[in-house]
Structure 1
Amino acid sequence: MRIAICDDSIQEQRQVIEALHAYDPTRQPECYTSGRSLLTAASQIPPFDIVFLDIYMPGENGVKTAEKLQKISPSTGIVFVTTSEEHAVDAFSLHALHYLVKPVTAAGVTESLRRLAELREKKRPVVVLTSGNDSYTVYLDEINYIQSAAHAKEVVLTSGRVIKGWMSMEELKNKLGESFLKLNRSSMVNMEQIERMSADACLLKDGTRLEFARRERGRVRAAYDNYLFTRLSEPKNPAGEWLP
């Protein structure tokens, strides 16, 4: 998870960090002292998951910065941090996750992250997979890859769980959607799970290596590049969901 804190006061930044570490000591947030520096960092990939943004800062205030941030990274959850409730209406008109009055507490940070998780859980697309007489509802982003095994197809989840079914690759591709790329006749990958691609294989985030024929490299690479370009350029709603 990529977390940012934007506050012109280093002391106030430390308070938010302490509150965050009370929730999870392993989190390492990125800290910025101006809206300009935050927006520059927000244009990088991957986007921020959540930003704790001070409203009162020299130059452009946090509300104006948030308006620009939503255009750059609509999927980022924004939590306003301030000394008063004066801008609360502005904050929620921008679909802010939360509005925290200083000093920031662990309870406030915990609630902010809970709201982010709840929002994303509601927006995550699912697919129903059949295995014999059983049906399984899984989130699309939990599917790592699909591979042929004898006459069956194994849907491998990011957790390591495997769901075995007897649909064809083409049927699965139509069911799963555009984020899945057919590498060859016997395997298909969730492009969101690709870490990097070589001449004859793609390496997934969990270390899995899926190979394809070198003659397929042009098709596979073009499809993956086109997918990345489309994902970066298509519009999203304030919740971070890509619009149809």
Structure 2
Amino acid sequence: MLALICDDLAEDRRVLAEYCDRYGKEKKLKIQTLQYENAGALLQNKDVLKADILFLDIYMEGASGIDAAKILRGKGYKGTLIFTTTSREHYAEGFDLAAAHYLIKPISWEAFCKAAGRCNKITELEKKSIRVNIGRSELNVDVEGIRYIEVYGHKTIINTLRGEISVTQSLAALEQVLPRDSFLKCYRCFLINMNHVQRIEGDSFLMKDNREIPISRDNRVQIKSRYLDYMFSKMEEEKC
């Protein structure tokens, strides 16, 4: 999970980063945090649209948190937005921007946990299915039932437990809406659901339908490491 923290006060950024780390350890979640001291620096990051959670201070020098949120939503940001503030006067605007929560400063651990817990529920609901385009029509696809997605020629094909679906979205577009913890781009034209992998065989993933999917040579070590980390985390969760 990727959490971005944008606040012009270093102490407030530090507190939120510590809370994210503590929450991740308690909930057995891997939370990576990145910090920004103003909206301009945040908006310059090309990966901002991939963030799962964005903690955004409303009152900052230069562009406000509300301004930054409007720009990001306009660019298609679908992640969970949490405003941090010293005042409730922007509640209405936050509602328009689909903000999940407000955290009033100084932020307590209890308030943070309440916000984070609410965001987990929102994320779970959003990730049960994705909406895909099939020609001129649309279809909801169960995320857990997706084995892998491949680009073949000029087609993007989703392989599911119920069969194959040819969609008009690009692989990159689908990657942005699927859960980042369980889906892995292992090759330039393949995105796999790690829950449907049998094992690693040499330089390929053997899927549960016996399809062998290659692992990119350039990032082979990192890809294998991420898969093993994911499987280890699943085993640890099953013990609890």
- Same fold per superposition (TM over 0.5): yes
What amino acid is the match of 1:197?
Y
Counterpart selection for 1:71 from 74, 85, 93:
74
Correspondence for 1:18: 18
Counterpart selection for 2:144 from 142, 152, 177:
142
Counterpart selection for 1:172 from 163, 173, 177:
163
| Larger RCO (CA within 8 A; separation ≥ 6) | 1
Alpha-carbon distance change, 116 to 178 in structure 1, aligned in 2, over 3 angstroms:
farther
Q: Partners of 1:45 and 1:140 in 2: how far apart? A: 26
What amino acid is the match of 1:63?
I
Question: Displacement, 1:73?
Answer: 3.7
Correspondence for 2:125: 122
Please tell me whether residue 29 in structure 1 is matched to residue 33 in structure 2. yes
Question: Displacement, 1:36?
Answer: 1.2
Count residues in correspondence: 168
Alpha-carbon distance change, 205 to 10 in structure 1, aligned in 2, over 3 angstroms:
farther
SS in 2 for 1:29: strand
Q: Partners of 1:21 and 1:29 in 2: how far apart? A: 8
Alpha-carbon distance change, 195 to 70 in structure 1, aligned in 2, over 3 angstroms:
same
Q: With the length of structure 1 as denominator, give the TM-score of the two structures.
A: 0.57
Residue identity over aligned pairs, in percent, reads: 26
Question: Displacement, 1:45?
Answer: 7.4
SS in 1 for 2:119: helix
Contact 2:7/2:60, CA 8 A, preserved across alignment? yes
Q: Partners of 2:57 and 2:90 in 1: how far apart? A: 11
What amino acid is the match of 1:143?
G
Question: Displacement, 1:52?
Answer: 0.5
SS in 2 for 1:142: coil
What amino acid is the match of 2:21?
H
Contact 1:21/1:27, CA 8 A, preserved across alignment? yes
SS in 2 for 1:145: strand
What amino acid is the match of 2:145?
I
Correspondence for 1:92: 95
Alpha-carbon distance change, 119 to 80 in structure 1, aligned in 2, over 3 angstroms:
same
Q: Partners of 1:106 and 1:143 in 2: how far apart? A: 37
Question: Displacement, 1:31?
Answer: 0.2
Q: Which has the larger radius of gyration?
A: 1
Correspondence for 1:168: none
User: Structure 2, unaligned stretches of length 5 or more?
Assistant: 131-140, 149-158, 195-199, 214-240
What amino acid is the match of 2:2?
R
